[in-house]
């Protein structure tokens, strides 16, 4: 099969981790006779430097024209001073909205080889950690009006807004994701305080009637944050709004050992998806061959599975990651005693070689 992939390397460790994912994709292409064409697109700080804009329309257009988009990471201290609407992160929000990818899927799964890296007690880890956070990605407070003004002092506002239809479409993804798994869906909100959450909860319960095979539960977001560390085995699929999903997915990644291991997929109405690790650009270790490329490599696997309908190829990548971890290779973030400390580039080569 022939596929065009828009590649956004971004800032910080972005270029390094993306290189490793491309190494792995090239190996898959060779093994299965596919042709993956890469089209570079600029976004984030590097696009600000080059064009004065974190995502110029011509770069977004490259992504819209592709079969899918692979993204490293954006942002860094160099652009901390720029105004809010021109920050590198704004590029990320614009590409998500521009592609219409409202559904962000973030798996929290512990690799058996990395059980020691979890900060949770072994008796909690032993019960299993294997859940997915389905995060609404193009609505809520991230996309409401933001403003700062003077009224004797500075006042800022960020509007959190959700419509029924926005909630319904992500709710359906939650139910359908649960249907393919252990059939348990936990809807997370703050309905004791927020109107948007009360609407969220009512839409989830209306949808539940259409998915009688899925068990729906509700949880307040503060309680959920607690339950994720107390008893993560209770979760199968969590569905939640944009900002809660941002926070809970970082927490969920941490209990699996390292945020560097977690991929994500973002999809909307078409098969053109956005695939990115959930971590940031880690400017402190950029350019030192220290980053963990596995989150990005697993994001490439998700691209093959969800956008290109290549499940065998995706399995191959995931199995290769497992094999390399079995062999004891570890980047710094997942290093433990007796293991072999491995650079970003070597890790990518090892995984590609294991396919």
Mapped onto helix, strand or coil, the DSSP state of residue 34 is coil
Which residue among 142, 162, 211, 329 is the active-site one? Answer: 142
Looking at residues 233 to 262 of the shown chain, list those that interact with Mg ion (rule: CB under 5 A).
246
Pick the catalytic residue from 3, 23, 90, 190: 190
Q: Is 220 helix (H, G, I), strand (E, B) or coil?
A: strand
- Does the annotation count 142 as an active-site position? yes
From the CB of residue 223, how many other CB atoms can be counted at a distance below 10 Å?
A: 13
State the alpha helices, DSSP H only, in the chain.
14-32, 45-51, 57-65, 88-99, 122-125, 164-179, 195-208, 221-230, 242-255, 294-302, 311-326, 344-353
DSSP label at 22? H
Residue nearest to Mg ion (CB): 246
218 binds, among Mg ion, ligand IPM, none (CB under 5 to 8 A by kind): none
Per CB under 6 A, 89 contacts ligand IPM: yes
Q: Identify the helix (H) or strand (E) that includes residue 47.
A: helix 45-51
Q: Quote the CA–CA distance of 176 and 170 in Å, as a whole number.
A: 10
CB of 151 to ligand IPM, least distance (A): 28
Active site residue 190: yes
CA distance linking residue 187 with residue 162, whole number of Å:
15
Does residue 246 touch ligand IPM according to CB under 6 A? yes
Closer to ligand IPM by Cβ: residue 79 or 329: 79
Select the residue interacting with ligand IPM from 28, 48, 92, 167 (CB under 6 A): 92
Residue 176 interacts with, from ligand IPM, Mg ion, none (CB under 5-8 Å by kind): none
Question: Counting contacts by CB under 6 A, is residue 67 touching ligand IPM?
Answer: no
* 42 among known catalytic residues: no
Question: Which residue lies nearer to Mg ion by CB, 68 or 104?
Answer: 104
Cβ proximity to ligand IPM, 215 vs 250, nearer residue: 250
Report d(CA 63, CA 54) in Å as an integer.
Answer: 14
Binding flag, residue 310, ligand IPM (CB under 6 A): no
Dihedral angle computed from the Cα positions of residues 177, 183, 188 and 191, in that order, rounded to the nearest 10 degrees: 120
By CB under 5 A, residue 189 contacts Mg ion: no
For residues 317 and 355, the answer to whether their CB atoms sit within 8 Å is yes
Catalytic residue annotation:
142, 190, 222, 246, 250
Rule CB under 6 A: which residues touch ligand IPM?
89, 92, 246, 278, 280
């Amino acid at each position: 099969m022939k596929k065009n992939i828009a590649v956004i390397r971004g800032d910080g460790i972005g270029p390094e981790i993306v290189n490793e994912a491309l190494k792995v994709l090239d190996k898959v292409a060779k093994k299965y006779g596919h042709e993956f064409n890469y089209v570079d697109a600029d976004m984030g700080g590097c696009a600000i430097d080059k064009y004065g804009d974190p995502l110029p329309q011509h770069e977004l257009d490259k992504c819209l024209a592709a079969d899918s988009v692979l993204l490293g990471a954006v942002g860094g201290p160099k652009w901390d001073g720029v105004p809010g609407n021109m920050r590198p992160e704004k590029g990320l929000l614009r590409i998500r909205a521009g592609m219409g990818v409202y559904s962000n899927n973030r798996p929290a799964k512990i690799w058996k080889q990395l059980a020691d890296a979890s900060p949770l007690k072994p008796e909690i880890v032993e019960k299993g950690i294997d859940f997915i956070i389905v995060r609404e990605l193009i609505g809520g407070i991230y996309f409401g009006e933001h403003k700062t003004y003077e009224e004797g002092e500075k006042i800022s506002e960020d509007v959190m807004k959700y419509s029924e239809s926005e909630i319904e479409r992500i709710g359906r993804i939650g139910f359908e994701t649960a249907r393919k798994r252990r059939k348990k869906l936990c809807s997370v909100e703050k309905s004791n305080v927020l109107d948007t959450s009360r609407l969220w909860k009512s839409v989830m319960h209306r949808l539940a009637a259409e998915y009688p095979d899925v068990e729906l539960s509700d949880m307040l977001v503060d309680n959920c944050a607690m339950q994720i560390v107390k008893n993560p085995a209770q979760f199968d699929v969590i569905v939640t709004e944009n900002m809660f999903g941002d926070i809970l997915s970082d927490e969920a990644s941490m209990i699996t050992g390292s945020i560097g291991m977690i991929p994500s997929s973002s999809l909307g109405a078409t098969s053109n998806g956005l695939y990115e690790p959930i971590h940031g650009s880690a400017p402190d270790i950029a350019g030192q061959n220290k980053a963990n490329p596995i989150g990005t490599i697993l994001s490439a696997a998700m691209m093959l599975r969800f956008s290109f309908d290549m499940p065998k190829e995706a399995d191959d990548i995931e199995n290769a990651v497992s094999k390399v971890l079995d062999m004891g290779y570890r980047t710094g973030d997942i290093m433990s005693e007796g293991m072999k400390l491995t650079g970003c580039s070597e890790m990518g080569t090892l995984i590609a070689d294991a396919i």
